A and B are shown apart, each in its own frame.
Chain A
Amino acid sequence: MANPPAEFLAKCKARLGHRVMAEFMRIQIEVGEARGELQELRGTVAEVACRYGLAPIAASTHPFGHWRKQSHTDKERYADLANALQATVRLLLICSMHVHVTVEEEDMRPSARYPTLGMRMTDFCTSLEDSLTVAALYQCILAILYRLRTSNQRWRIYPLICVQENRWRARHYGITDSSVDFGPKTRCLMASCWPRLGIWWPRTLRPLGCADEIRHARENLAKGTSAQIRCGSMTRPSRAAPIRRMP
């Protein structure tokens, strides 16, 4: 896990413009937007990195990188962050995947940098196909919510603590264990939740043109993610995790 030379990002920017940006750590860079663009961006970054004897990995963290060996990007904003937060940011060797979706409504653009709704809670997908699938799922779910909103309807709103329970379970067990369906108050394997979500696909797939990516999501549920395939088999927790009794 090596800090790239200063001219590495400059060379990437010369070829890709504003579509590639520095992140806080010099070892992290940010790239954006869907299939063809992501292929070009990853390919160009890999090509430029190769000239310096480096190779990029699309991952939320490096398996054995050490924070003491890292330095932050030389920008005033990051220098201010480092000065204000000290060890808190120096220890941050993690990054998440950011997906931005444009919504045609003025009051739904909380991203400070782009006119979009941003999502940054998922891990970084190493596989390009998995990355595109997560982006497509987020885009489709936003389209479903937007459709409801324009029909003067909305999804049921659950207490934040309930949402956090499912988030915790997803973080620990991935797609292999159950989450809680707070409507009927039952546990639900992701594979069995999929058909219920699927009734929305015909109405959202066609205009968004992401049928291939959604198909890939279904394949992932059956075969496992690329990381699980790498490990040789779908991993399952040794015992079901406890869930508190719903009131």
Chain B
Amino acid sequence: MRIHDAAITGGADKADALIQVVDWLIAETVRDL
């Protein structure tokens, strides 16, 4: 299953988890600047 489909069909918990991943990616990208 494609991950964005999982966000849609997996319900609020899965969507929240994916948003947390993006938040982490944003923070990690600029962490060592």
Contacts and interface: CB of A to CB of B under 8 A. Distances in A.
Contacts of A127: 28, 31-32
Contacts of B24: 230
Interface string B18-33: 1001101110111111
Binding site secondary structure of chain B = helix
Interface stretch (A60-68, A97-105, A114-122): A60-68
Most chain B CB within 10 A, of A39, A46, A126, A226, is at: A126
B20 to A, nearest CB: 10
B4 A64 contact: yes
B22 A63 contact: yes
A66 B6 CA distance: 12
Interface residues of A, number: 20
A191 interface: no
A219 to B, nearest CB: 14
Contacts of B31: 127-128
Nearest to B24: A230
Given A63-B3, A64-B3, A66-B4, A128 B22 contact: no
Contacts of A66: 4
Interface of B: 3-4, 6-7, 18, 21-22, 24-26, 28-33
15 contacts: A42-B29, A42-B33, A43-B33, A46-B29, A55-B29, A56-B26, A57-B22, A58-B28, A63-B21, A63-B22, A64-B4, A65-B4, A126-B29, A128-B33, A129-B32
